[in-house]
Amino acid sequence: MRLALLLALLALAGCRAPRDRPHDAALDPRGRLHIPIGLPDTLDTLKTFVEAEGGFSPGVGSYGISFWVFDRETGKLTAPTMPDIAVEHGLAPGGLLVPWSRWSAGAVEVRTEVCEVRRATDQFVAAARVTLSNRSTRPVRLSLYAALRALGPAGWPVRRLEVADPGDALLADGHPALISNVRPSAAGVAPGDTLGGLARRGAVPEARSASSPDGDASGALRFDLDLPPGATRALGLIAPVLPGRRTVGHAWDGRGPEVQRDLNTPNPATGGALQRDAGLDAYRAMDADALFAEALGFWRRRLGGAAIRTPDPRWNEAFAAIPAHLALMLDEGAPDVAVVNYNTFTRDGAYLALVLDQAGMHDLAARAIDHFFAHPFSGRVQPEADNPGQVLWIAGEHWKLTGDRDFLARSLPVARQLAALIEYARTTPEPHWVARDGLGFGPGLPPDRRLRLLPGACDGTHPEYTEAFDVAGLRNAALLAAAGGDAATARRWCALAETLLQRYDTRFGNDLAAGYGSYSVLWPCRLYPLRSGKAHDRFAAIPPRPPSEWRYFALATAHQALLAGNRNTAARTLQRHFDQDQMRGWYAFDEGGESAPGNWPKLRTAWTPTVAMPHAWSLAELWLLMRDSLVHEDGDRLVLFAGVPRKWLAKPLRFENLPTAFGPLTLTWDGTNLHIEGDARPPGGFVFDTP
């Protein structure tokens, strides 16, 4: 009994909260802002998390790597996590998903950058680059610490650390963890999280190997540098992503949500993927500068070629950065709502897929939609009534933007089944049964394979939202059927959509802005005409929206106003959201309210588990409002510049390769004349208000 109790206490100690372990709190991660980087459509555990102060974890459940500077003349240690240190952060030029952080240690400016690349099918590698610049007129003698601790942006217990001969690398649990491109001046490891006290004296641990049953082992590489006035020195480091560790993927159990598993155990459905250790010499041969060039080249190619140039550089960067954030949420075809916090929700994922499509990443959007074809009710234990319409809606939007005949062929059987499901749920008596997973429905489903679909079920009960998507979904089902040559089926779904719209108007038409109705009526469901009528009149009067607790709601309401012709509400709402602290530099909102903790409680981190950042629906709503403010479809017309500040129309604007329902749009507005260069040719022409 005593032995069992002792073992239990040891197990708890290995995962105890950071505040219970001895450490120098000023050197701990702030856990204030973070983003994942890495490769789209890969397992979430293979993504590297970076905090605004430059610390990072190479893979979810690895360790924390951070950088400190010791002034060898004054004896002062400076870290970007210290409360009196101001830190800036941003992305590579053009909004490419290679983050940097910048801070000062006395006269020295410190800039850290992090990237991640894929070098082989089963080998992911992060790299860091630290640039130190002496901004003074006197020489500076300093030491740069590259510290490795269990505590990090997405850390995990570290039970064994070693310094590899000849001292240029740290090994964690027998695998390469941090490798320098140049020989450090000193290196050492300790069995506890004691680096802070040593670094404040300019020292490193004396040991070359250390073990910790609590998982508190720590270590550092130290670089002693003499910088003449005005001099700059850059150092590169390699951090393999989870070498020798198993990664965790989705395991669909028929209910939709991912089974929450220990990050160290294989996926029971797939067996997990073992991350190959390339070997220390292979990592030593890698050059950090080359990996950064590779990462930047990857994102330039991956982003699909769509770009904007406006008077506000934040718009230009966010137009690239937000689709990149959302692409990172694709987890082997499943569009997760947030990395580590959530699995897939059909609702959020539909908005995410539209961003990918409108940003030109059609292949990733198709992957997400194919996932919904197989798992239409994703996200909750009980199915939600908006999901069938949302899957049909996003499938139709993808077809409009791409004209992909292969996609059309595989979407038609799904569209017929989902449209029939909507008809069943809206025109036959309750109860209504749907399959736990897949497209089946009806009383013929075996009891162990069925769940009850309740009318209006969506975040509680919101028929004003779910029934709007029934209409939008059926309209797009008819579009797909017509494109596939099935005119009779197209007429049938159009007729049902019109019937359901009349019912909707009878039930909700007197108060179109109530509840979820203000987030769906014009945008994105287009239930009513945009240019006139009661929906236009109701939403055109909505004033600019301040950020709300749940970020997507304010943005969605402003989107209603935009489509009703209210430029000021769209422009000022976007301005208020761009001014938020989270949007600065990295353009990465959280959900606003409390989110699911997912796997964060299992990690050694200062991050608040119930904060999901970046959050798919929040970011998607902002980006989609921005896109439609620049250009949006209205019937057979393209409406230009409808939500940009009016003063912009006196200045140059340019779009490049923006996907639209009428073809890719490239144009230049020089302040007086419009020059169309792309293939977009809307039958109804281009419409915009000249200044």
Q: What one-character-per-residue DSSP string does 349-402 give?
A: HHHHHHHHHHTT-HHHHHHHHHHHHH-SS-SSSS--TTHHHHHHHHHHHHHHHH
pLDDT tens column, 319-354? 999 999 999 999 888 898 888 888 889 999 999 999
CB 62, CB 264: distance < 8 Å: no
- Residues 188 and 385: their CA atoms lie apart, in Å, by 58
For the chain, give me the number of helices (H) and strands (E)? 15, 30
Predicted confidence at residue 588, as pLDDT, reads 97
* 3-state percent breakdown (helix, strand, coil) of the chain, nearest 5: 35, 25, 40
- HSE at residue 680, side-chain half, CA atoms within 13 A, is 32
Residue 23's pLDDT band (cuts 50, 70, 90) = low
Strand pairing category for 175-180 and 637-640: unpaired
Copy the structure tokens of residue 326. 């959302």
CB 466, CB 382: distance < 8 Å: no
Amino acid in position 653: L
Q: Using CB atoms within 10 Å of the CB of residue 456, give its burial: 0 to 12 exposed, 13 to 18 middle, 19+ buried.
A: middle
The predicted model gives 609-617 an average pLDDT of 96
Nearest partner of 38 among 242, 246, 308, 273, judged by Cα: 242
**What 3 state SS string does 598-632 have?**
CCHHHCECCCCCCCCCCCHHHHHHHHHHHHHHHEE
State how far Cα 659 lies from the chain centre. Answer: 21
User: Considering the chain, what is the average pLDDT of its residues?
Assistant: 92
Residue 649's pLDDT band (cuts 50, 70, 90) = very high
CB 600, CB 611: distance < 8 Å: no
Domains of the chain, earliest start first: 2-290 (2.70.98), 375-508 (no CATH)
Residue 7's pLDDT band (cuts 50, 70, 90) = very low
Three-state secondary structure call for residue 674: strand
The predicted model gives 616-620 an average pLDDT of 97
The predicted model gives 438-453 an average pLDDT of 95
- Residues 299 and 314: their CA atoms lie apart, in Å, by 18
Predicted confidence at residue 32, as pLDDT, reads 96
Residue 265's pLDDT band (cuts 50, 70, 90) = low
The predicted model gives 572-590 an average pLDDT of 97
The residues, ordered by sequence, that sit 6+ positions from 401 with a Cβ below 8 Å of its Cβ are 357, 358, 362, 659, 660, 661
- Residues 582 and 589: their CA atoms lie apart, in Å, by 6
DSSP string, 132-167: EEE-SSS-EEEEEEEEEES-STTB--B-EEEEETTT
H/E stretch holding 687: strand 686-687
What phi and psi values does residue 627 have, to the nearest 5 degrees? -60, -45
pLDDT over threshold 80, residue 489: yes
pLDDT over threshold 70, residue 20: no
CB 504, CB 422: distance < 8 Å: no
Q: Which of 232-246, 331-345, 398-412, 590-604 has the lowest mean pLDDT?
A: 331-345
The residues, ordered by sequence, that sit 6+ positions from 76 with a Cβ below 8 Å of its Cβ are 70, 106
Predicted confidence at residue 633, as pLDDT, reads 98
**What 3 state SS string does 72-114 have?**
CCCCEEECCCCCCCCCEEEEECCCEEEEEEEEEECCEEEEEEE
- Residues 664 and 681: their CA atoms lie apart, in Å, by 9
pLDDT over threshold 90, residue 250: no
Q: Using CB atoms within 10 Å of the CB of residue 203, give its burial: 0 to 12 exposed, 13 to 18 middle, 19+ buried.
A: middle
Predicted confidence at residue 124, as pLDDT, reads 95
pLDDT over threshold 80, residue 40: yes
The predicted model gives 495-501 an average pLDDT of 98
The predicted model gives 6-20 an average pLDDT of 36
pLDDT tens column, 161-207? 999 999 999 999 999 999 999 999 999 999 999 999 999 999 999 99
Predicted confidence at residue 122, as pLDDT, reads 76
pLDDT over threshold 70, residue 1: no
The predicted model gives 21-45 an average pLDDT of 90
- HSE at residue 691, side-chain half, CA atoms within 13 A, is 16
- Residues 426 and 428: their CA atoms lie apart, in Å, by 6
Amino acid in position 542: I
Number of neighbours of residue 271 by Cβ within 10 angstroms: 10
Q: What percent of the chain has pLDDT over 90?
A: 85
pLDDT over threshold 60, residue 498: yes
CB 630, CB 644: distance < 8 Å: yes
Predicted confidence at residue 343, as pLDDT, reads 81
CB 248, CB 275: distance < 8 Å: no
Strand pairing category for 631-634 and 637-640: antiparallel
Predicted confidence at residue 251, as pLDDT, reads 57
What is the DSSP code (8-state) at residue 62? B
Predicted confidence at residue 21, as pLDDT, reads 43
Predicted confidence at residue 259, as pLDDT, reads 36
Residue 569's pLDDT band (cuts 50, 70, 90) = very high
Residue 236 β-bridge partners: 129
pTM, rounded to two decimals: 0.94
H/E stretch holding 668: strand 665-669
pLDDT over threshold 90, residue 264: no
H/E stretch holding 460: none
Three-state secondary structure call for residue 227: strand
pLDDT tens column, 587-610? 999 999 999 888 899 999 999 999
Give me Rg for the CA atoms of the chain. Answer: 27
The predicted model gives 618-638 an average pLDDT of 98
- Residues 109 and 113: their CA atoms lie apart, in Å, by 13
pLDDT tens column, 276-320? 888 999 999 999 999 999 999 999 999 989 999 999 999 999 999
